[in-house]
Amino acid sequence: MEHKSKDHRDYLAEVLDPSKTQKVIDRIIHGTRYLPEFDAIAVTGLSGLLVGPIVALELGLPLIVVRKDLKCAHSTKRVEGYAEGLKYIILDDFVQTGNTILDIKLHVRDYDKSCKLVGAILWSGYRYLGTSDSNWFIRLNVPVWFCNSRGVVVP
């Protein structure tokens, strides 16, 4: 099968390819230097779980996992991990509407109201996939850094 142009359907290719995974992790860790001080990392979904545990381990920080859907889970908990009173960042692949970041923020807040979201890093090479809501970053009310192969870019 011939490979066509890169689009949002193969955005995980760079973390599923072992020869590229470490570059993605290094890029994310470099990007954390631009964020306010944080004590934990929050992720959701496959894209988050492909990079989040590695980054958390390398930085020596706890990982907070927010389940997207409890129907297919082996647990009844929406949020797993240690999060009490921590300032955390979110690692995600890309933004289309901002809803994933908002969902993580709301579920962690429901889990522990003393936790504070201080920023997010979007690690894939896709800066923005487009949506009818061009003000998604205003709704988030949190700094978002895009961390791609060209370096760290603030929106």
* Per-residue pLDDT reduced to its tens digit, 15-53: 788 888 888 898 889 888 888 899 999 999 888 899 999
Query: Is residue 153 helix, strand or coil?
Result: strand
Domain borders along the chain are: 17-69+76-150
Query: Is residue 91 helix, strand or coil?
Result: strand
* pLDDT confidence tier of residue 8, bands split at 50, 70 and 90: very low
108's CB contacts (< 8 A; 6+ apart) are: 42, 64, 66, 79, 83, 88, 115, 117
The CATH number of 17-69+76-150 is which of 3.90.1150.30, 3.20.20.70, 3.40.50.2020, 3.40.50.300? Answer: 3.40.50.2020
Q: How far apart are CA 27 and CA 9, in angstroms?
A: 21
Q: How far apart are CA 25 and CA 14, in angstroms?
A: 10
The pLDDT tens digits of the residues spanning 110-143 come to 999 999 999 888 887 555 545 545 566 666 777 7
E strand segments, 20-134: 40-43, 63-66, 79-80, 87-92, 116-122
Beta bridge partners of 148: 151
Q: What is the pLDDT of residue 60?
A: 96
